[in-house]
Amino acid sequence: MKNRSWAFLAGGLLVALLLAGVVSNYASSHPDGLDSSLLKGCTVDADDNIVGGSCPAQQARDHELGDSPLADYGVRGVENSFLSTGLSGVLGVLLTFAVGAGGFWLLRRRGATTPAEGDVETSADDRRHADANG
């Protein structure tokens, strides 16, 4: 890859890390669209815990891996909730990038005869050609 592709990747990752590591602490903690729809019929308290009524959400069971060290977007053992959420976000971004980029790299088509446009090194000839036309 050319340098500017690396720069774009690095810049994009930095933005993702800041969003997941810092901004995530300012996210709304109310139930999302799915959860709130499943809570219809139940009454909830200020912390969104079910206190009465009947609704689909009451059937929810524990997660198989609910005791994972990063469960519920926190790092187990980190008391400070700002740090805990932020750190879990940073780890999540790095892990997702590693799994995604690694997996896609293994899957990519190799020995391609049509190199990607942005990475093509324009030859001097091509450039003269372009200048003449432009």
Of residues 37-76, those binding another protein (CB under 8 A):
37-38, 40, 44, 47-49, 54-66, 68, 70-74
DSSP state of 113: S
- When binding is defined by CB under 8 A, the residue of 52, 53, 80, 96 that contacts another protein is 96
Residue 37 vs 127, nearer CB to another protein: 37
Rule CB under 8 A: say whether 97 interacts with another protein. yes
Report long-range pairs for 59-62 (Cβ below 8 Å, ≥24 apart): none
Asked if 119 contacts 5 with a C-beta cutoff of 8 angstroms, the reply is yes
- When binding is defined by CB under 8 A, the residue of 52, 53, 80, 119 that contacts another protein is 119
What is the spatial distance between Cα 92 and Cα 68, in angstroms, rounded to a whole number?
13
Rule CB under 8 A: say whether 100 interacts with another protein. yes
Number of C-beta neighbours around residue 107 at 10 A: 7
Rule CB under 8 A: say whether 14 interacts with another protein. no
Residue 45 C-alpha from the chain's centroid: 30
Residue 67 vs 125, nearer CB to another protein: 67
Rule CB under 8 A: say whether 122 interacts with another protein. no
Handedness of CA 2, 8, 11, 14 (dihedral sign): negative
Rule CB under 8 A: say whether 130 interacts with another protein. no
